[in-house]
Chain A
Amino acid sequence: MRNRNLMKGRKEASMRRSVVVAAVVLMGVVGLGQVLDVGIFEDLTTTNIWARIGPDATVWNTYVSGGQHGGLYVSAAPYWTFVPSLAADFPSDFVENADGTWTATVELRAGIKWTDGTPFTADDVVFTYNVLLTEIGGGRFGILLGGNWPSYVPDALVAVEKVNDLTVAFVYSMEPGLGEWTFGALFSPIVQKAYWEPHFQAALGTDDPTRNLLRVTPTGEPILGGYQFVQWQPGAFAQMNKNPTYYGTGETLTFYEGGGFTIANPKLGFDLEGYGGVTGKLDLSLTEGPYVDSILYSVFLNQDAAVLALQGGQIATFLNPLGLASGFQQRLAATPNVQIVSNPPWGFRYMAFNMRRAPMDNAAFRHAVATLIDREFLAEGVFQGIIVSMYSAVPDSNPFWHNPNVTIYGEGMTRAQRVEEAVRILKEAGFSWDAEPKVVFPGTGNQAVIGVLPDGREVAAPRGFKLPDGTYCPELELLAPSAGYDPLRATFGLYIEQWAREIGLPIRANLTGFNVIVDKVWALDGFNYDMYILGWSLGNPAFPDYLYYFWHSDMDFIDGWNTPGYHNDEFDQLASEFLAAQSVDEARPLVFRMQEILADDVPYIILFDSPIVEAFRTDMIQLPYTEVLGGVQFVWPLTTVRALK
């Protein structure tokens, strides 16, 4: 109702401007219904779905418009459970056809309507995929759109066909694995055929179809999701209203402790059980709204102003993929009506070795550097708990995939022991010094590392570090972001430099801009670095396919993701099997073994990450849950959130 009033107001505005304004101002004060004010730190760049998933795939666009378009399946927060959304059930198994292709079908829910009142059918699904599959000069449309679109049209997907109004068939050239099917094609957003077909055909008729589709500014686009785009005032704010015809309104998703779930949707008369249904005690039950009539996303361009706004009750929360820094936490914790929520991150910050160069190609060297790095000292001492140490390629915040039993270098050792252990590892591998490191006065305030010459004379510091072949080690550059970009990584860089220099390893930290590091690591003529420190955020926690992309030897090409130049046949084999796995239970042991291999070979040293800390005004916003991997921002926008003002 509220929503329709607003729409009416818009129409009248153009006719009788001056009269309506007075009403508008009043409405601004009283008749809004539930409004949620949320801060964001970058403006939108588009409202066009093709651009938002494609070249404009920014986290800010996703926060605002992410709830607009439904998908066949979703990874349901907070557990990232794979559940049908527009689909009526899990997809069928694949069947091999006579021509060697493989087909699976997806049933759609009946009774779902677009916001313009027309029914949602298989035609819309088929249209969406066919746009992506359309071959134009240069390749598939979906590939050329870029962004996340290519992952929805894997090479092996050859056709998507309508079986009947509520059934769609997916045809693959071979039997697909999880990465191409469950966590690939099935996650695509679905658009309305009636709205987009004319735009798509018009774009196809031009000499630059992708550009001409991307530049469409959709107005009144019918959607299926919980929130509908209303307006965007560039540089100021964006407004999303609830979709009054949302098919999920009133739908209850219940999770049970045994891992099962049930869906009950009285509106569609639809029920479903998955993974065993009612298994054990009820864990969490979520009934969808949306309960909020409007969400207003205001753009703040510095965090200090946003924190002041939150303290003053101007916004209920702000969304930030990095979470709150420690100072903001302390300040907001002291503010009445503000709740601070901390969640484990889904990502890691790491140090990579260029294994194409000496001595980084030597496992002993990498082990020695890993031994020297005292994460706990930095995490608990210098950073006083604002970061968590990490050791495995899959963060421990994701217990299903995380392998807790990987090699940890220098575990529990004192500084002196670390130094001795690193020296032992290096000497064993044939490295040597002109003046060998030796710890004096260990455990006292005067502890120091001095150099010992072959004749037994002691000098102030170790020197003349030599490779196994007897040549002196050249100076090695460790690229790390400067304090202006990330003080945490900058400090790690400085300490690693100090620890390495202490035993005579000629490592120099170069604290510089993010872009400078990226340009050196992914240089046009190959990987041009010795070591660097950067970070990753990791995508869908339900399926860590990054393990393949970061370390499989096929990804070692110019501009590729395998930056260390890591090659290990056993790992390659496991990574390929993992992508092709048909179930997560089949994939899990593979992932565990891959983590062990990575920890032994150390192409990356996984260093740390900081928990995602967020603040909410308890008098303005009510959340259905606060414990979720990557923080509430990671699952925003929620249709289960309520506004209190």
Chain B
Amino acid sequence: MTDRTPAQYAITPLWKMRLRLLARTSRQNWSLFWESRIGPVGLLIIGLFLLAMVAHPILISTVWEPRVYDPVMGFDRALIGRHPAPPSWSHPLGTDPIGRDVLSQLMWSARSAFALGVTAAVISVVIGTLIGAVCAYFGGVVDVVFMRLADLVMLFPFIALLMVLRSVLPLTLIRLALILGALSGLGGITIVLKSQALTVKVKPYIEAARVAGGGSWHIIRRHIIPNIMPLTFLYMMFNVTAAIFTEAVLSFFGFLDIRMSWGVMINTAQQAGYLGAFGHYWWLWAPAGAAITLLCFAFYLVGRGLDAVVNPRLRRR
């Protein structure tokens, strides 16, 4: 690229420039991410879960008879009296205490875990980024109001608060995602993103944009938000972990109105009294427990991998 003359740059359209820049930074970032070593591992695990999620509906419509393999209503009559049955060819991870296929439940629940984690995380960072940017840019009353709001939200322990909310309205998956997203978005993330936005705000190019006549919203949209975006991505990953974990804990205590999830699977095993016998009946709790831990683990690793990309000071010396 260095051998191009300024004239060549001049005739390149702006969008092409941007695209090229994007491609270049992406390549750079990817190699940084790759160097982190743990990031790609996380990505691989997430990929496996995605695969399981996609495979479930295919299996149900081809080889798995829904009456037997439905994760909620399935029941294998062939094994009456033997449930929870240990793994076999027809049930690779065995059946649960009321005759449902564990593998099917496990794969099906990946979908709700992703839906919950990603929705909650996206909502939280969207809220956090917007408010953080606005607070940093305008300051004053807006800043004070949202920062005190953040303080207030952070006074509430989430799991404890969700347990209260459950009595006010039934906690379905969507509601849980919305509430979790809103809570973490208004709370800690806002503060972090605001302080990041503050460092961006004092950069010379912001001043330049203002002098050039850029409106406040324009500056926030085109300059501040893009510059805090990397950090936003980082927090998104950590929030996915938090959301999945919260769901699992709430389900474990029977506080959610969800028909099937990894937490519900462990809860089912516990309710029926199969949880504490570690040598036996492992298929009732180990797959679901491992799935929760692994997926949380994977998103966290990706987050840490991204950290190396986002946080220039952390780069290899």
Contact = CB atoms under 8 A, between A and B. Distances in A.
A491 B259 contact: no
A510 B259 CA distance: 10
Nearest to B84: A327
Contacts of A380: 80
B281 A327 contact: yes
A513 B166 contact: yes
A483 B268 contact: yes
A381 B257 CA distance: 25
A324 to B, nearest CB: 7
A325 B272 contact: yes
Interface in B71-104: 72-73, 75, 77, 80-81, 83, 97-99
A381 B98 CA distance: 9
A618 interface: no
Contact of B273 (A329, A494, A510, A512): A329
Given A327-B273, A483-B271, A498 B73 contact: yes
Interface string B129-165: 0000000000000000000000000000000000000
A484 B276 contact: no
B170 interface: yes
Contact of B280 (A305, A331, A483): A331
A384 B253 contact: no
Nearest to A302: B270
B184 interface: no
Given A381-B75, A482-B257, A511-B257, 8 more contacts: A304-B275, A304-B276, A325-B271, A384-B81, A487-B268, A510-B257, A516-B167, A516-B170
A511 B277 contact: no
A327 B277 contact: yes
A328 interface: yes
A560 to B, nearest CB: 23
A602 B230 CA distance: 63
Interface in A259-313: 303-305, 307-308
A158 B123 CA distance: 66
Interface string B272-296: 1111110011000000000000000
B196 interface: no
A331 B73 CA distance: 26
Nearest to B258: A482
A484 B273 contact: no
Contact of B254 (A329, A383, A484): A484
The residue among B77, B80, B97, B166 with the most chain A CB atoms within 10 A of its own CB is B97
B98 A484 contact: no
A331 B253 contact: no
A326 B80 contact: no
Contacts of B268: 483, 487
B105 interface: no
Interface in B225-271: 251, 253-257, 259, 264, 267-271
A494 B73 contact: yes
Interface in A341-387: 380-385
A444 interface: no
Contacts of A327: 97, 269, 272-275, 277, 281
Contacts of A308: 276
Contacts of B255: 484, 513
Given A327-B97, A384-B80, A516-B170, A483 B264 contact: yes
B273 A326 contact: yes
A330 B269 CA distance: 13
Nearest 6 Cβ contacts at the A-B interface? A484-B254, A327-B273, A328-B273, A327-B274, A325-B273, A304-B276
Contact of B98 (A307, A487, A513): A487
Contacts of B271: 325, 483-484, 487
A467 to B, nearest CB: 28
Query: Taking chain A's interface residues, is the majority helix, strand, or loop, or is none over half, making it mixed?
Result: helix
A486 to B, nearest CB: 8
Contacts of B251: 484
Nearest to A331: B277
Nearest to A482: B257
Given A381-B75, A382-B99, A483-B267, A512 B276 contact: no
Contacts of B276: 304-305, 307-308, 331
24 contacts: A304-B276, A326-B97, A327-B281, A330-B273, A331-B273, A331-B277, A382-B98, A382-B99, A384-B83, A482-B254, A483-B259, A483-B264, A484-B251, A484-B253, A484-B271, A485-B254, A487-B268, A487-B271, A494-B73, A495-B73, A512-B170, A513-B167, A513-B257, A515-B167
A516 B97 CA distance: 27
Contacts of B277: 327, 331
A518 B259 CA distance: 20
Nearest to A307: B276
Contacts of B272: 325-327, 487
A316 B267 CA distance: 27
Contacts of B170: 510, 512-513, 516
Contact of B72 (A329, A384, A494): A494
Interface in A437-486: 482-485
Contacts of B77: 381
B76 to A, nearest CB: 10
A320 to B, nearest CB: 11
Interface-centre pick from B98, B269, B280 (highest chain A CB count, 10 A): B98
Max chain B Cβ within 10 angstroms of own Cβ: one of A307, A329, A381: A381
Interface in B290-313: none
Contacts of A482: 254, 256-257
A331 B276 CA distance: 9
Contacts of B254: 482-485
A262 to B, nearest CB: 42
B284 to A, nearest CB: 8
**Max count, chain B CB within 10 A of own CB: residue among A382, A385, A484, A516:** A484
Contacts of A303: 273
A324 B272 CA distance: 9
A484 B97 CA distance: 14
A325 B275 CA distance: 11
Interface in A480-537: 482-485, 487, 491, 494-495, 498, 510-513, 515-516
A328 B80 CA distance: 19
B305 to A, nearest CB: 35
A611 to B, nearest CB: 14
Contacts of B81: 384-385
A385 B259 CA distance: 23
Contacts of A305: 276
B67 to A, nearest CB: 9
Contacts of A385: 81
A526 to B, nearest CB: 20
Contacts of A384: 80-81, 83
Contacts of A484: 251, 253-256, 264, 267, 271
Nearest to A515: B167
A150 B301 CA distance: 62
Nearest to B255: A484
A483 B170 CA distance: 14
Nearest to B100: A382
A475 B273 CA distance: 36
B209 to A, nearest CB: 52
A173 to B, nearest CB: 43
Contact of A382 (B72, B75, B253, B274): B75
Contacts of A512: 170, 257
B270 to A, nearest CB: 7
A73 B271 CA distance: 39
A511 B73 CA distance: 14
Nearest to B274: A327
A485 B267 CA distance: 10
Contacts of B167: 513, 515-516
A381 B256 contact: no
A553 B77 CA distance: 44
B288 to A, nearest CB: 14
Q: Which of A329, A380, A491, A498 has most chain B Cβ within 10 Å?
A: A491
B94 to A, nearest CB: 13
